[in-house]
Amino acid sequence: MQLGPYRLLAQLDAGRDGASYRAANAAGNPAEVRVLSGAVADAERWKALSKRLRLATTFDHPASVRIQSLELDHDPPFVALDWVEGTSLAESFAQAMPPPEEGLRIAEGLCDVVADAHRLGLVHGRLRPISIRLTDAGGLKLDFTGVEAGALSDPAAHAEMSAACVAPEVEAGGKADAAADLYSLGMILYWLLRGGTTLPGHTPREIAGNIQQETRTFRVSWQHLVPLLLAADPAERPQARMVLDRLQKDGSDVEDAPDAQTVLGQTVHRESSAKAPPTQVGRFRLMEKLGEGGMGSVYRAEDTTDGTIAAVKLLQGRWNDLEGAWQRLRKEARMLAEVNNPYVANFIEINEHEGAPYLVMEFVEGESLSKTLARRKRLPEVEAVAVMADVARALVEAHRRGIVHRDVKPENILLQMGSLRVKLCDFGLARHVLQSESLNLTQAGTAVGTPFYASPEQCAGARIDARTDVYAMGATLYHLLAGRPPFVAETALGLSFLHANKPPPPLREFNPDVSDGVCRIVEKALAKHPDDRQADAEAFLLELERLRRGEAVSLVVHPRLPPAAPGKVLHYEWTWELEAAPDQMWPHVANTERLNRAIGLPAVDFTTEPDPSGGTRRFGEARKAGVVNSWREHPFEWVEGRRLGVLREYHRGVFKWMASTVELKPRGDGGTSLTHRLRIEPRGLLGRLIAAVEVGIKGKRALERVYRRIDGYAGGKLGRPETSDPFEPAPPMKPAGRRRLEGLLNRLIELRLDPGVVEKLGDFLSHAPPQEVARIRPLAMAERLGLDANQLTAACLHGAREGLLVLLWDILCPICRIPSGVKDALQAVSEHEHCPACDLDFKPDFGEAVEMIFRVHPEVRASELATYCVGGPAHSPHVAAQVRVAPDETIELELALSEGAYRLRGPQLPYARDFQVRTTAAARRWDLTLGQGEPPRTPAALQAGRQIVTLTNEHPVEVVVRIERTASRADALTAVRASTLSLFRELFPGEALSPGRLAGVTSLTLLVTDLDPAGRLYEKLGDARAFDVLHGYLQAVGESVKREGGAVVKAVGEGMLASFIDPAAAVRVGLTLAGRAVSGAENGLRPRVAVHRGPVMVATINDHLDYFGSTVSQASRLTQRAAGGELVLTQTVASDPEVADVLRSRGLLIEVLPEEASSSMAGFLHRITVPARFPVE
């Protein structure tokens, strides 16, 4: 197969980015080609990888695997590298380690190539002995492309050492950066020092002690270099170039070992240089100087790999004489990475050029606040407060991590072009408050901080903390409002004296229009003693936000109540102390459908109508004791695991409105304090009497009964989950239903279903409440009962066939994911369905929106189909929080989101914002202004655990905001998934789409078999005998397909077409079939097999589901490219990482077919010749 100038010969491996191939270039020389089909399908991954590959093409080093060709615009995109003959460092030294001189040469070579790569900003990321190649000529080769086209896990023999090379910050979920490479380099040096052995489980501190006791030493300085490279603080690890310098300078005959400071000090000291500024540093071309400060100059620069513009801060001049300057700048870079948020000029990388360190940051198109002040003199209060609120947002996470900026001033506040959107920059004087004071961070005559905005403790050289930044923010806000700083003097010493001893002039002397509120905030921030200021940036921000928008409310005050005279509102509040934890109680307390029925509320008829402002309005009507109540039900509000509430406004009945809230608070002993509040405005005396009896007495009694029962269920006091219910006891079964149930369960056992599964299914059907047996989701139920999902699904399918259950289909709305309807057959699914909750017409996706469910057969027992509640948290388990925000309201949500992908959206919002939650993220707060213009800025990621999201609604109408998980539900047995089950097709052959209906399926794996040559079978055996052989063969194929969870679609000639969800399962079946001769045939007749994957269309033909489209057409022709005993795979299958695992474990050669054999096919084809094994029984 030809790919550009390269002829692909055989697939080597595959991973998440694509597959790697042994290839030959136009001259016939060997090469390795990596096809990037996986990476290009992931937009975020493709952006990062393509930039890295462009950078890697510029890297020219003898020890780096050279990129011959980079074709990112090719279809498919690929990268071609030099072919490297040789073995890994780990494999080469598995038996015997090299002599000391060879070990030193390897160490120097590693340091040299890593240093040069880091100089360009190129990181290896997976440096370990197994990833370092030793060529046949004895040279080193490292791959810096970062393409994952193979197994991520290393061979078992080398896994221990590979794991030891992972830096602790990477193991904790952090990014693999240059510092992580240095840690790996230190561990490899230690590995060489120990003669290829490690001490598993030992910490870097213990390793440092072990090194002192080593008898086999290449260089005495290694005893100090290795501990430095393994430093816990990534910023303290010496650069690879410094390590190389030390290795080359230190002779093997040195008697006295230098101490660690000597090793480091000798390598970081740089000679002063008066040379002209460079025109390029690393990959960045310097274009123009933007400014100069105490630590160096800032330039506008271009990234030569992709043309993007960045800001480069170059450390130069006399700063190069400071031994701690390099470490100091590296700490600045890591701090910037920690506080990375939308209000900070984002950090890109740190590097050095000819001994001069430099920092690369996001370039902000606009101007500094100081330039804005020079032009406008001062800002209106509204603008000034908005700017400083954004500055405070930039510092909230920094202060929480103990990081102090120390130099907040207008020059370091950048305003994006055409707006007052802030980017805070220059953390150059920032430091962790708790960091070691061992670094020399000051020098005689060097001013630290800017005196116009410096706090009294800064001026005095005293200890600083977050309140130092608060002072600077107050001084900057003073300047914005007054048109001048709070203090003005001719000398820095004079300014320092004023900051320490004199109160600032009143703001109103310079701006009489300033409000009392902002005067109080500034006065507090400029207090002489830190204890009298706001505690940190978050406290400063909260005061500014209260000034701007009023007090941010908590969800505790929601739902907002209609206006009413206080004396007319009835208040009921009850608290129960429960043994179960809040996360155990929440799934049941949030199930308002089940809870309402359990406490005796009547069933409700719900209707919806479009809301002119967006979304829908929901109305309910219920009858109890002859009284009809009708109401508008506002959207539920909740924060998962903590609180839920709802407001009903009645237009008929004995109440005017009712608000119900439930709050769960954890106790110190692991239990829960559950508080249920009801607030009601009744209509007249009758309403009061009914509320007193039905709510105050009966309601409390019913709630206590149910909450106590849920508590007991969570604690395992009610028995097994299949025989107990958290809400209410199941009604006893009628004798006739019991006898029918027992008979049907025995029938399932006769069908050889797992007796344990059948028993638990029977217990569930006997004891579950009527609502539970009305909608049985087999995959979710299997997880709940601890059963094998395939076994329970089989029991449900057989149960539906035998009359124990009824097979149904849920239609799920793609927006709210709530069932919008139930169909009794696939034929009843319309081409367009409607979700009344969202007022949305949608085309159901059979792979996502049509789910197989079951209901107990009415002859066995009754099920409950009535509705008691809709819109509660349990109806939308993917929604972590939902809240109503009134116009001009600001609400603060305290969340506890776990790691994953989320989306913020709402029916009234013209946009949605996707965001990530990661354990390694810095930000824990997100302030959003919900307007009709530009969408709010999204943080790079929020920290997993506890988060605060503040929402301010600038729309003229109320908006409903949801925070949703974006991951698809894995517990849904969709129609597509069901169609790949052999048992489903066997038991329900009539389950098909309506005639003429064609539905799309996103992706499906198809396996095709054929006999080669089949004609010879008829010639040798005759038609009758040949039929017997084929019949047995096709039965064996069907059994193999069924065992791997696939389904036989139809017979095709002397072969079959089968479907699978899992491509690896299809390949396992293909290998099994291709490796076995057909039983009963002469001369070892063997099948030829092909596997393809892609989108298909589903339709009903002759009352059976069948597949159509180009994927099916291509799959049906694939076996023509194979001979007996061969398996053909398309590129989409062969490059799947799980398929690659299967093939790697078999050790089979994966040949790439010539281009002429792959014509008219999707991508290029792979052929595997499977060794003959044994006949299929």
Structure-token match 């099948």, residue found: 1087
Report CA-CA distances (Å) from 362 to 10, 303, 329, 346, 914.
43, 11, 16, 5, 22
Q: How far apart are CA 335 and CA 762, in angstroms?
A: 59
Asked if residues 294 and 446 have their Cβ atoms less than 8 Å apart, the reply is yes
For the chain, helix, strand, coil in percent to 5 are 35, 25, 40
Determine the 3-state secondary structure of 473 from DSSP: helix
CA angle (1123 as vertex; 1120, 1128 as ends), nearest 5: 65
Q: 841-870 burial by CB neighbour count: b if 16+ within 10 A, else e?
A: ebebbbbbbbbbbbbbbeebbebbeebbbb
Asked if residues 822 and 810 have their Cβ atoms less than 8 Å apart, the reply is yes
Structure tokens at 191: 């590995």
Structure tokens at 978: 């069901």
Determine the 3-state secondary structure of 147 from DSSP: coil
Asked if residues 38 and 16 have their Cβ atoms less than 8 Å apart, the reply is yes
Structure tokens at 510: 């310079």
Give Dmax over CA atoms of the chain in angstroms. Answer: 112
Report CA-CA distances (Å) from 699 to 371, 573, 702, 704.
66, 11, 5, 8
Determine if the peptide bond prior to 99 is cis (ω within 30°): no
Q: How far apart are CA 425 and CA 370, in angstroms?
A: 13
> Which residues lie below 8 Å from residue 1065, measured CB to CB, with a gap of 6+?
1005, 1044, 1045, 1046
Structure-token match 């909750």, residue found: 837
1141 catalytic residue (yes or no): no
Dihedral sign of CA atoms 227, 233, 234, 237 in order: negative
Q: How far apart are CA 502 and CA 518, in angstroms?
A: 20
- Residues in the chain, total: 1177
Q: How far apart are CA 1085 and CA 1096, in angstroms?
A: 32
Determine if the peptide bond prior to 910 is cis (ω within 30°): no
Catalytic residue (choose from 303, 407, 725, 1010): 407
The number of angstroms, rounded, from the C-alpha of 132 to the middle of its chain's C-alpha atoms is 30
Dihedral sign of CA atoms 602, 605, 611, 615 in order: positive
> Which residues lie below 8 Å from residue 1024, measured CB to CB, with a gap of 6+?
none
Structure tokens at 278: 């460079």
Q: 129-141 burial by CB neighbour count: b if 16+ within 10 A, else e?
A: bbbbbbeeeeebb
Beta strand 947-953 with 925-930: parallel, antiparallel or unpaired? Answer: parallel
Dihedral sign of CA atoms 327, 329, 332, 333 in order: negative
Catalytic residues: 407
